[in-house]
Amino acid sequence: MSTRAKIIEALSEAGEDHVSGHDLAENLGISRNAVWKHIETLRVRGYVIESTHARGYRLSSAPDALTREAIEPHLETEWLGRSLVCHDVTGSTNDDAGVLARDGAPEGTVVLADAQTAGRGRLGRDWVSRPRLNLYASLLLRPKIAPADAPQLSLVAGVAVAHALERVGLEPGIKWPNDVLIDGRKVCGVLTEIEAEADMVGSVVVGIGVNLNSERDDFPEELQDRAVSVLMATGAKVNRAFFVATLLECFERAYERWRDGGFGPLKDDWERRATLLGKPVEVAAASATTTGICVGIDSDGALLLKGDDNEVRRVIAGDVTLVGGYEG
Amino acid sequence: MSTRAKIIEALSEAGEDHVSGHDLAENLGISRNAVWKHIETLRVRGYVIESTHARGYRLSSAPDALTREAIEPHLETEWLGRSLVCHDVTGSTNDDAGVLARDGAPEGTVVLADAQTAGRGRLGRDWVSRPRLNLYASLLLRPKIAPADAPQLSLVAGVAVAHALERVGLEPGIKWPNDVLIDGRKVCGVLTEIEAEADMVGSVVVGIGVNLNSERDDFPEELQDRAVSVLMATGAKVNRAFFVATLLECFERAYERWRDGGFGPLKDDWERRATLLGKPVEVAAASATTTGICVGIDSDGALLLKGDDNEVRRVIAGDVTLVGGYEG
């Protein structure tokens, strides 16, 4: 953790109390003058820090910024996000993470942005990325798997995002393969991209976009009835730095379970939140469209559809729509 | 085709005869002075072109260069290699093609180099890339497939290379998945790399290295008993530009058969050249090692091994060695 992050952590832990410059300097092994300089830098970055000569410093408010100093005090992961790249604005965090991957960046590197100018969704679709409201994160992973197993990581991401949303009091559902919904509206999308040799994955970038503090009017009109944010669902803003840290922790846990035991251990977690279970759906893939009642997912993450002929078919990829309507 | 390539084609077709500057100018729709300038440029690039005032130009020898001008007169493809990038020296043609792919280059773009300074083989191994002797080509493809189907393209490449070698009079064998051998020694390696969303391939780069005009001493000592070149096998040098054009034509045909009909139509072609058929082999993959008698490949390209228990097992990835020795 950086020195500034440690200062914020110390002030946050003190809550309404003051922390003396002397204590900060001693605990961090730096001079009181250095402490003062860090405090000044934090103030420039939007932290409101009161100070009195007699009692020391007190944090009265923190900016809602996606910076290392804001995130690190909340971060409980072992390896995910310990290398953290934070942009104010970038084209696409997935593109940035892809470049880092090709340059040899280690597993666990995370790229964040306050805004994206060329955010992408699945199948080359645009992803609307308004500044300073939501979360755009790309996680660089290097699992030793065949390309055929990569879609499982999208499911792992769906489970991790659901866990993180539950920590802030929501009851999300997951729509196969990896949209996360609240009351049938999309709160999160995942874009998993890989680079691989024909039979061995070199790197995976899992891009996660979560609508956090957008209001209904912040979405383009055509999405207003289909999208939702944490703010819209709970009525309260969520601190984005805290949510990022929570998400990374949930992801690290889900990923390690998957890495060590395959998708099996996560299957229950996924199915419990599955919005499509028992419903008639249609899956459109490049080659064919499959319809049937969703009866679950297979141990490798494939969607299982029971057709009119009572045969259960496996679907590995495609766009899902509920037959006859509203996604609940 | 470029104007210079057309001039070379016209001179090549004339053989021992001369072609007048007047005819060249008229057929190409340019001035006689422009023809003369192109001839001068070709001479600088190593073409030996005789000229007499009375009879015109005659091609007496062409350099063994991998340039557009040298390749295009031989090229019979419809779309493969019609966008052609030729380097004297580059790090890795696969890396170059990967960058072009991400920048949106079209299917069929081909990157060639006379030498690579950082040539790569499968699983991150080095690929020795001596200058001006062999062939290093990377083919950019954009098939609409899932990542799981990408290994099939390595098999397609193996078949295409075998076809091209047969055109110059050799009888190559294919070692699963995609080494091409002559008398048990490796003449070609293939490195297939993909970038993809979790369930849809964006681009594939098929890197093909073929030993053409290397002598035994040109190989590192540890490879001298295991590697072979066309020159070593036939006793004659092969014109590299001609061979590239031949390979691209064979690849385009094999690729179109695969694209339109899957691996099935190529299966016979592959098995007929399979060096492992009927032999005891061991396949080492990341997760496990499988042993058995090779009994063929599946319709999706998986290797089929019959174990001691008479069960036939599918192997999708791994490094193959013949149990008990020499690869014939």
Nearest by CB to residue B147, choosing from A147, A154, A286, is A147
Q: Across residues A87-97, what is the average pLDDT? A: 92
Contact call for residues B208 and B137 (beta carbons, < 8 A): yes
A104 or B126, which is more confident?
Answer: A104
Contact state of A177 with B191 under an 8 Å Cβ cutoff? no
Chain B positions in Cβ-Cβ contact with residue A197 (cut-off 8 Å): 122-123, 191-194
Contact state of B194 with A199 under an 8 Å Cβ cutoff? no
Residue B121's pLDDT is 76
Residue A96's pLDDT is 95
Distance CA A327, CA B183 (A): 61
Distance CA A274, CA A180 (A): 9
By a Cβ cutoff of 8 Å, what residues of chain A touch chain B? 98, 102, 122-123, 144, 146-148, 150-151, 153-154, 177, 191-200, 202, 286, 316-318
Shortest alpha-carbon distance between residue A147 and chain B (Å): 5
Helix (H) or strand (E) run with residue B315 in it: strand B312-315
By a Cβ cutoff of 8 Å, what residues of chain B touch chain A? 98, 102, 122-123, 144, 146-148, 150-151, 153-154, 177, 191-200, 202, 286, 316-318
Q: pTM here?
A: 0.80
User: Tell me: the pLDDT tens digits for A212-239?
Assistant: 999 998 888 888 889 999 999 999 889 9
Q: Across residues B98-106, what is the average pLDDT? A: 93
Residue B256's pLDDT is 97
Residue B327's pLDDT is 44
Q: Across residues A91-110, what is the average pLDDT? A: 94
Nearest by CB to residue A317, choosing from B193, B194, B199, is B199
- A-chain residue closest to B148, CA distance: A148
Residue A286's pLDDT is 67
Residue A260 banded pLDDT, cuts 50, 70, 90? very high
* Domain A280-322 CATH assignment equals 2.30.30.100: yes
B interface mutation test: which of A199, A205, A206, A208 has the most B CBs within 10 A?
A199
A-B Cβ pairs (cutoff 8 Å, strict): 87
User: Tell me: the pLDDT tens digits for A175-207?
Assistant: 988 899 999 999 999 999 999 988 889 999 999
Chain A positions in Cβ-Cβ contact with residue B200 (cut-off 8 Å): 123, 286, 317
* Nearest in space to A145 (alpha carbons), one of B208, B119, B141, B147: B147
Residue A328 clears pLDDT 50, i.e. is over it: no
Residue A124 clears pLDDT 70, i.e. is over it: no
Contact call for residues A238 and A214 (beta carbons, < 8 A): no
Q: Give every CB contact of residue A167 below 8 A, 6+ residues apart in sequence.
A: A246, A250
CA distances from A33 to A1, A2, A25 (A): 20, 17, 9
Distance CA A38, CA A59 (A): 13
DSSP assignment letter at B105: P
Residue B326 clears pLDDT 80, i.e. is over it: no
A interface mutation test: which of B197, B205, B206 has the most A CBs within 10 A?
B197
* Cβ neighbour number for residue B299 with a 10 Å cutoff: 11
Residue B69 banded pLDDT, cuts 50, 70, 90? confident
Contact state of B199 with A316 under an 8 Å Cβ cutoff? yes
- Tokens representing A17? 């109390």
Residue A165 banded pLDDT, cuts 50, 70, 90? very high
Chain B positions in Cβ-Cβ contact with residue A318 (cut-off 8 Å): 199
Domain range A3-61, its CATH number among 1.10.10.10, 3.40.50.10260, 1.10.287.130, 1.10.3720.10? 1.10.10.10
Shortest alpha-carbon distance between residue A101 and chain B (Å): 12
A124 or A77, which is more confident?
Answer: A77
User: Tell me: the pLDDT tens digits for B259-294?
Assistant: 999 988 899 999 999 988 899 999 887 667 889 999
DSSP assignment letter at B31: -
If you classify domain B68-272 with CATH, what class do you get?
alpha beta
Residue A164 banded pLDDT, cuts 50, 70, 90? very high
Contact state of B286 with A192 under an 8 Å Cβ cutoff? no
Distance CA B250, CA B269 (A): 13
User: If you count them, how many residues does chain B have?
Assistant: 328
User: Tell me: the pLDDT tens digits for B209-221?
Assistant: 999 999 998 888 8
- Write down the residue that tokens 């006379």 correspond to: B114
Torsion from C-alpha of B9, B14, B16, B22, nearest 10 degrees? -100
Distance CA B34, CA B60 (A): 21
The predicted complex's ipTM stands at 0.71
Distance CA B208, CA B224 (A): 20
Domain residue limits, chain B: 3-61, 68-272, 280-322
CA distances from B124 to A197, A200, B120, B175 (A): 9, 11, 6, 19
DSSP assignment letter at B174: E
How far out from the chain centre does Cα B14 lie? 29
- Considering only the C-alpha atoms of chain A, give the largest distance between any 2 of them, rounded to a whole number of Å: 80
Q: Give every CB contact of residue A38 below 8 A, 6+ residues apart in sequence.
A: A3, A4, A7
- B-chain residue closest to A122, CA distance: B197
Q: Is the dihedral of CA A155, A161, A166, A169 positive or negative?
A: negative
Q: Across residues A48-72, what is the average pLDDT? A: 87
B328 or A219, which is more confident?
Answer: A219
Contact call for residues A211 and A230 (beta carbons, < 8 A): yes
